Amino acid sequence: MKNKLVRFGVSLEGELLRKFDALIGAEGYSNRSKALADLIRKEFVSDVFSRGGAVAGAVTLVYDHHKRDTVNRLLDMQHDHGGIIISAQHVHLDHDNCLEIIAVKGPGAKVKALADSLKAVKGVKHATLSVTSSGK
């Protein structure tokens, strides 16, 4: 029954179900099954990440490109983490700002540590880390 679909019954408070339907409807889901499966997978990814297991993801940074110390520091850090960083995309967002999207892969704890240290660099205005996993 590894990948075979299995039907099961779920009992929920009416109000909770109403809110769930409204939420998934707004997100574009056409049925509850896919929405519920995605929620469950999200919990698994979160669990793997919190236990330091293998994840993949993206660190997104916005920083002032006029601040050369910031640019150099971010580049130095990326060169020191070649084992975790798969690729990086640099976008010259506007006259003042650069956007960098850094694809990462590795143990959750190391990925988070790298994202935290990139975020803490002076001159970085905004940083996010989003993680996913292959679901294995």
Least Å distance, CB 44 to Ni ion, is 36
Among 92, 122, 125, 126, binds Ni ion (CB under 5 A): 92
Tokens coding 51: 């236990």
The answer to whether the CB of 56 falls within 8 A of the CB of 132 is yes
Least Å distance, CB 116 to Ni ion, is 23
Contact range with Ni ion by CB under 5 A, out of 5-13, 24-32, 38-46, 98-106: 98-106
Contact range with Ni ion by CB under 5 A, out of 18-26, 43-51, 89-97, 117-125: 89-97
User: Among residue numbers 32 through 71, which ones bind Ni ion (CB under 5 A)?
Assistant: 65
Least Å distance, CB 57 to Ni ion, is 22
SS3 (DSSP) at 128: strand
For residue 134, give the nearest of 32, 1, 37, 44 by alpha carbon. Answer: 44
SS3 (DSSP) at 98: strand
The answer to whether the CB of 65 falls within 8 A of the CB of 92 is yes
Least Å distance, CB 14 to Ni ion, is 52
Going 52 to 128 to 58 to 69, the CA torsion angle's sign is negative
Q: Which is nearer to Ni ion, 65 or 105 (CB)?
A: 65
Contact between 98 and Ni ion by CB under 5 A: the answer reads yes
Which residue in this structure is represented by tokens 């469950």?
40
Interacting residues with Ni ion (CB under 5 A): 65, 92, 98
